[in-house]
Amino acid sequence: IWADVLGYVRKNISEVEYHTWFAPMKNLGVQGGSLVLGVRNSFAQEYVRRQYQVLLEDALRDLGAENPQVTFQVLPAVQEAMILPEDPPPPRPGPAGRAAPDPAPAENRKSLNPKYTFENFVVGPNNNLAHAAALAVAESPGKAYNPLFIYGDVGLGKTHLMHAVGHYMAERFPDKRIEYVSTESFTNDLINAIREDKMTQFRNRYRSVDLLLVDDIQFLAGKERTQEEFFHTFNALYENHKQIILSSDRPPKDIQTLEGRLRSRFEWGLITDIQSPEFETRVAILKMNAEQSHTVIPQEVLELIARQVTSNIRELEGALVRVVAYASLNNVPLSRVVAAKALSNVFAPQEVKVEMIDVLKATAAHFGLSPDQIRGSGRAREVVVPRQVAMYLVRDLTGHSLPEIGQFFGRDHSTVMHAVSKVTEQMGKDLELTAAVQTLRGQLNDVEDER
């Protein structure tokens, strides 16, 4: 039945979508009347639910199910590694069908970074046009847009997208030749070829490929001999309908000292840009990274990092690594407090105030309770005092109103008022309580100081 479902799905979506989302999916059988499908991470889970749940249910209906239901479950890491070899995708049905190729040999992907796939690329409003263009090119190399020119600031995913096209093609057409090269190594190869009198080899290498990815083409500026050679490479490929993808930190018209004939060729196909990701996209990228390294990171920590690092995705990922390393080196659980400390030496302080949840968690931890116990209905002194301390500190540090605090703790505002005056009254008298308040205040304020 799963093969039938996949067959139905495959008829209704593009090959790219199929390979990105359905090929890695795992059929976990029927549970409680619902077909359960395993996906790699919660990003994929959210995405397929949003995009394909209806389609999948249609597929089941088509196969005779009366009340079809599909749910998605995130697979544990070990299973994930086994998906591809175990479940090769079925051949594409229909008259235009061709058998799905075996997984590509390593050969034509050797210049590609295995991490830079479409599946690992988070799509947001900042990059969806570039992503769509790359997908289109991956589906119809040499036909959709040629050349595809992707520009944008450093660290925004240009190289990643180029490699993704390469992987995609390598997987579908194992015999196609794919070459990824930075403009710098293209230049060096050329210089060596000239010096060693190996121009024929050089030309064979670059002119015999089916997909040429040339990264950071802005570095052609001012290099006349390289431009000349690249011009001929470009023409040879273009005339043979071979796909060319170029990246740059700026559009062709802004590349100084680029020959007019090259510039105009760069403008023949499609020019698309990638902008800085917005907050939600940054959080999604962090989430995906965390899941890939099988690290559980609280949402509020991801958000803190995403607020801290705003423009460069490589730095965003670096910040995540730093936070995780800091927490494990210090052997403390990951929290906003810890994350802010981990980042405080690297990034300019950010405006983040202490949140109620921070106070709750810190207070609970201090008294050896769980946050739920503090917010719960327990009336024992061991819970009541910490609860009052937490309310007092929230009032003191966050600027929330009594009703807001009451709501957070599941109580009314007069309870909060009572707690605040109770703790105020005990300060200086009850030494244990005073110490607790001071320690916690120090801990929580520390964050603000360092930010």
Nearest-CA neighbor of 11 among 92, 98, 99, 89?
92
Say whether the peptide bond before residue 147 is cis (omega within 30 degrees of 0): yes
- What's the order of all strands across the beta sheet hosting 211-215? 178-182, 211-215, 243-248, 148-152, 270-274
Pairing of strands 26-31, 34-39: antiparallel
Residue position matching structure tokens 């051949």: 91
In the complex, least distance from residue 180 CB atom to ligand ADP, rounded to whole angstroms: 12
The backbone torsions φ and ψ at residue 368, rounded to the nearest 5 degrees and listed phi first, read: 70, 30
In the complex, least distance from residue 330 CB atom to Mg ion, rounded to whole angstroms: 33
Which is nearer to Mg ion, 159 or 227 (by Cβ)? 159
- What's the order of all strands across the beta sheet hosting 26-31? 26-31, 34-39, 70-74
Rounded Cα distance, 27 and 89, in Å: 12
Strand, helix or coil for residue 198: coil
In the complex, least distance from residue 85 CB atom to Mg ion, rounded to whole angstroms: 31
- Judged by beta carbon distances under 5 to 8 A according to partner kind, the member of ligand ADP, Mg ion, none in contact with residue 356 is none
Which is nearer to Mg ion, 10 or 158 (by Cβ)? 158
Select the residue whose beta carbon is closest to Mg ion and give its number: 159
Which is nearer to ligand ADP, 121 or 238 (by Cβ)? 121
Which is nearer to ligand ADP, 119 or 358 (by Cβ)? 119
In the complex, least distance from residue 6 CB atom to ligand ADP, rounded to whole angstroms: 26
- Judged by beta carbon distances under 5 to 8 A according to partner kind, the member of Mg ion, ligand ADP, none in contact with residue 314 is ligand ADP
Residue 434 known to bind ligand: no
In the complex, least distance from residue 367 CB atom to ligand ADP, rounded to whole angstroms: 40
Residue 222 known to bind ligand: no
Nearest-CA neighbor of 440 among 373, 381, 372, 385?
385
Handedness of CA 126, 127, 132, 133 (dihedral sign): positive
The total number of residues shown for the chain amounts to 451
Residues that bind Mg ion (CB under 5 A): 158-159
Which is nearer to Mg ion, 158 or 387 (by Cβ)? 158
In the complex, least distance from residue 153 CB atom to ligand ADP, rounded to whole angstroms: 7
Contact 420, 395 (CB under 8 A): yes
Residue 159 known to bind ligand: yes
Residues 6+ apart with CB under 8 A from 297: 286, 287, 290, 320, 323, 324, 334
Which is nearer to Mg ion, 158 or 336 (by Cβ)? 158
In the complex, least distance from residue 158 CB atom to Mg ion, rounded to whole angstroms: 5
Beta bridge partners of 179: 212
- Judged by beta carbon distances under 5 to 8 A according to partner kind, the member of Mg ion, ligand ADP, none in contact with residue 7 is none
Which is nearer to ligand ADP, 142 or 318 (by Cβ)? 318
Contact 149, 269 (CB under 8 A): yes
Per DSSP, 32 falls in state T
- Judged by beta carbon distances under 5 to 8 A according to partner kind, the member of ligand ADP, Mg ion, none in contact with residue 4 is none
Q: What share of the chain is helix, strand, coil (3-state, %, to 5)?
A: 55, 10, 35
Rounded Cα distance, 341 and 64, in Å: 57
Residue 155 known to bind ligand: yes
Residues that bind ligand ADP (CB under 6 A): 116, 120-122, 127, 152, 154-160, 285, 313-314, 317
- Judged by beta carbon distances under 5 to 8 A according to partner kind, the member of Mg ion, ligand ADP, none in contact with residue 89 is none
Which is nearer to Mg ion, 44 or 214 (by Cβ)? 214
In the complex, least distance from residue 170 CB atom to ligand ADP, rounded to whole angstroms: 18
Q: What is the helix (H) or strand (E) element at residue 53, kind and residue range?
A: helix 42-62
- Judged by beta carbon distances under 5 to 8 A according to partner kind, the member of ligand ADP, Mg ion, none in contact with residue 317 is ligand ADP
- Judged by beta carbon distances under 5 to 8 A according to partner kind, the member of ligand ADP, Mg ion, none in contact with residue 72 is none
- Judged by beta carbon distances under 5 to 8 A according to partner kind, the member of ligand ADP, Mg ion, none in contact with residue 444 is none
Select the residue whose beta carbon is closest to ligand ADP and give its number: 157
Binding site for ATP: residue ranges?
A: 155, 157-159
Going by the annotation, the residues of the binding site are 155, 157-159
